[in-house]
Amino acid sequence: MVSRRDYFTITIVMLIIFFLFQFSNVALEKWNDYEENSYVVNMENLPDSSSAWRPAQNGEGIALQGGPESVADDTRKLAVYIGSEGEASAQVVNAWTVYTKRDIRSYETLDQFEAAGWMQARFLPQMLLIDPSGIDWDKEKEYERLKDCVEAGINLVFLKLPDVSVVDAHPGLKELLGITQVRQEQTTVSGLHLFKGFLLGGEMLYKEETQSGIQDLELTFPWYTLGVGTKIYMRGMIEDERPGVIDYPAVIWRKGCGTAFVFAVNGGYLEDAAGLGILSAMAAEMSPYEIYPVVNAQNMVFVNYPGMAAENDDVIRSRYNQPLPELMRDVIWPDIVTVYRENELGLSCMLSPQFDYTDYNYPETETLLRDMKLINEQKAEAGLSGISISGTPIAQKLMEDNEFMMEAVPDYQFSSFYAGNMAAQEVRQALSDDLLLAVRTVVKDYDGSSDLIGYETEDVTRQGGVVDGLRHTYQQDLRVKSVETALGYTSFMVNMLYVAWPGENDADWKMLADVFSWNAERYYGNFRAFDGTTVSECDGRIRNFLALDYRDEREQDTVCLEVSKTDEPVWFILRTHGETIDHVDGGAFRKLEEDAYLIEADSAQVEIALKPSVAFRYIY
């Protein structure tokens, strides 16, 4: 039997607990300013496209073809592209030089490069980036010219190799590339082995074992036997690999030639966004140290989430026994929050008031308010999706969305907009709508190009997706590692249209949730040192990244970094060879992995003191 004193004590404790819970809920409700968007800012105070750093260019945006006399600043790293401007590799090179703030010159042929007088200049390019289209492979003097460049200290990067018949027929080219023989004109490997220390994210075996459908990398290419003085960064894997055998099909390698290197890519790996990281990794291999700016932003973007209308009801109820809004709140949202908290990615949700604007299922105000509260509680961002399945013109869609938003949350302004694969003209039309006047950044799907971040309009930035969070493929994995290496950036896109409007054979959310959770850990487990951001937070970092300029030099054991054209903190990746950071003045640092560090520059002058970590001196 409970005594009166114990009963009274228990009652008091229960009342206190009840009061605390009630107070916390009331406080949470009172302080949850979900009806206003904290990411909306005065656009006039932000850097715009006119602030973005650009290399010297002709009027049409093509890199200058002038000689050494056209270079105003010979302290800036200079890259020279040899080949047609129409090649996919040229687009990668142009994007990479803008992101790394390099100067660039472009020539269609080696003849034009020689005629410009570079070999007689008092300073030389750091590298020649060579597409096969820029070399007349039938002229023996071409190989002599390339050999002269290497002997002068210019690094060569063969963005893609010529046909295997050309390589086999020219001993001078084979010698330059470090090839001793063509073992097979074509071989198909079972997978690829990416070695540790080249791209950020560590070693990876891209070989399909238990999961089917994830191997989508290029696996058929010539098999070249390499000689001494070469170093392989990625190679093919064959079925009957044996211990002690070293002759495997090489994909990416280099050959040392005195004070310079010759890099080769056996395939089309430098023709999309993966090429950005491969070029950055090669640049890091060319010098005792390499420092370059990055965005430092990790985004997880749920597009077309949440839905606020009970649409596609027969299909959704047959699968989940509840309408779409309740499915998204009670089933999907807890899974999103779990992955978000575990992986430290920033979270952004691109609202979809309606998927089908031709039916009679309208969005509900109560659903919107509930979802906005949940999103705001997680310090996530609510943007707007511009996608519908009904083919409704964007102007009509935005008009209906605006009517709904003005009735439900009249003070809310969107600062981000999901445009999917909309054409530039359609995006501009959308951004002129009253509902989107405060938008500062547009999120788009990955389109296969290397131009991942930039300006969509004069004052609105563009951030491209990197991977589809509901699929896992090796090509996506390689792209993540490459883009993280080059930009310290990712956009993990999860499109809820596949859940709201599934095909007959599409998986349900339970299976997709497992894929999404596994992918988040798989893709980003090695990149937790980078910051998680919402897309509007990422927008600010993209603007500063595009605007900044920098210089670096080394004085004994100190790397001196000078940052200009931005007053905000910016980030750099420093890659070394057997050296660690002792301390940083004017900023801070985090270790990414061995010989790779993330530098936060808080002032215009940053000094990075290094110390040896192993007993060897890097020779270049």
pLDDT digits (tens, 9 = 90+) for 151-161: 999 999 999 99
pLDDT digits (tens, 9 = 90+) for 485-525: 999 999 999 999 999 999 888 899 999 999 999 999 988 88
CATH classification of the domain holding 362: 3.20.20
pLDDT, residue 107, reads: 94
pLDDT at 131 over 80: yes
pLDDT, residue 2, reads: 58
Same domain, 189 and 79: yes
pLDDT, residue 118, reads: 87
pLDDT at 163 over 70: yes
DSSP assignment string, 13-62: HHHHHHHHHHHHHHHHHHH--TTS-TT---GGGS--GGGS----B-TTSP
Cβ neighbours around 221 below 10 Å, total: 21
Same domain, 515 and 574: no
pLDDT, residue 619, reads: 47
pLDDT, residue 232, reads: 97
pLDDT, residue 239, reads: 82
Whether residue 15 lies inside any domain: the answer is: no
DSSP assignment string, 230-247: EEEEEEEE-TT--TT---
Average pLDDT over residues 380-399: 95
Of 541, 574, 600, the last residue of a domain is 541
pLDDT at 147 over 80: yes
Same domain, 91 and 182: yes
Same domain, 580 and 465: no
Whether residue 34 lies inside any domain: the answer is: no
Whether residue 571 lies inside any domain: the answer is: yes
Same domain, 175 and 289: yes
Same domain, 302 and 290: no
Same domain, 192 and 254: yes
pLDDT, residue 120, reads: 85
In this structure, the strands spanning 78-82 and 103-107 are parallel
CATH classification of the domain holding 129: 3.40.50
Whether residue 116 lies inside any domain: the answer is: yes
- Reported confidence tier of residue 31, pLDDT bands at 50, 70, 90: very low
Same domain, 118 and 230: yes
Of 541, 571, 603, the last residue of a domain is 541
pLDDT at 1 over 70: no
Contact yes or no for 128/80 (Cβ under 8 A): yes
pLDDT at 28 over 50: no
Of 494, 521, 541, the last residue of a domain is 541
Cβ neighbours around 27 below 10 Å, total: 10
Report which of residues 29 and 105 the model is more confident about.
105
Whether residue 6 lies inside any domain: the answer is: no
Highest mean pLDDT out of 117-126, 244-253, 381-390:
381-390
DSSP H or E run through 78: strand 78-82
Percentage of residues of the chain with pLDDT beyond 90:
80
Average pLDDT over residues 166-179: 94
Give residue 592's identity as a one-letter amino acid code: L
pLDDT, residue 426, reads: 96
pLDDT at 361 over 70: yes
pLDDT digits (tens, 9 = 90+) for 506-515: 899 999 999 9
Whether residue 32 lies inside any domain: the answer is: no
CATH classification of the domain holding 558: 2.60.40
pLDDT digits (tens, 9 = 90+) for 461-475: 999 999 999 988 999
Whether residue 23 lies inside any domain: the answer is: no
pLDDT at 479 over 60: yes
Same domain, 595 and 503: no
- Reported confidence tier of residue 3, pLDDT bands at 50, 70, 90: low
Number of folded domains in the chain? 3
Same domain, 382 and 513: yes
Whether residue 26 lies inside any domain: the answer is: no
Long-range contacts of residues 138-143, Cβ cutoff 8 Å, at least 24 apart: 140/170, 140/172, 142/110, 143/170, 143/172, 143/173, 143/176
Range of the structural domain that residue 99 is part of: 49-294
Same domain, 290 and 309: no
Same domain, 248 and 309: no
C-alpha distance from residue 555 to each of 243, 552, 581, 595 (Å): 45, 10, 15, 19
- Mean pLDDT, all residues of the chain: 91
Contact yes or no for 158/177 (Cβ under 8 A): yes
